[in-house]
Each structure stands twice: as C-alpha cells, then as structure tokens.
Amino acid sequence: MSDLEQLIAEEKAKILAETATIKWQSLEKFYAQGKLVLVDSDLNLVDVAYSLSINETADVTSLVESKQLSRDFNHQAKLWHQQDAEVWCVVVKPWILVQAIN
C-alpha cells in the first residue's frame, strides 16, 4: 500500500469511527436549518463523507446531479418522523450527512 493509499485509509477510518445511528427526531432541528444532506442508500456513506471532506468537487457534483446526494428530501423526512426512525449519520462540517439504515 502506498503512502497516499495509507493516508486515505486512515482518513476513512476516522470518518467511520465518527459515524453512528441516531434517532431522526434528534436531527430534525438541523434539517430545518438546512444542514442535512441525504445520501442515497446505494452509496457508501463513508466514501461520500470522505469526498466532501476533501472537496472532491467533480464527484460531489455528479452525485448531486444524479440525485444521490440531496438537501431537499421533505417526503423522506416526514416518513422518518412518522416512523420514529433511526438513521446513519456523520458530520462533515458544515454538513450532517444522513442515510437510511438498510
């Protein structure tokens, strides 16, 4: 493994360690403030968080354009509220990434 690959692996391990499940209701105030970003369930949450953390503009733009990364998810937010759901969550300042638990 090269030094760069090792560094990337270490950074992703840090992100993974900061990832947790949380009740959606604990995040609702942040959603109302526009700080939450929904990550599609088909994506790896840690990989997306890493891309955001290093400002990987091309990757992030592609995810937004394909609607796999979104700040507008009212329908899903309402469902999570009604279901008293837990979601995966990780902070990549200034954002809080959330993802459905499968």
Residues 9-60 pLDDT 10s? 999 999 999 999 999 999 999 999 999 999 999 999 999 999 999 999 999 9
**Structure confidence at residue 46 (pLDDT):** 98
For residue 74, is pLDDT > 90?
Answer: yes
**Structure confidence at residue 15 (pLDDT):** 97
Q: Is the pTM of this model over 0.85?
A: yes
**What angle do helix axes 45-53 and 57-65 make, rounded to 10 degrees?**
130
Cα angle 14, 16, 18; round to 5: 75
**Structure confidence at residue 1 (pLDDT):** 82
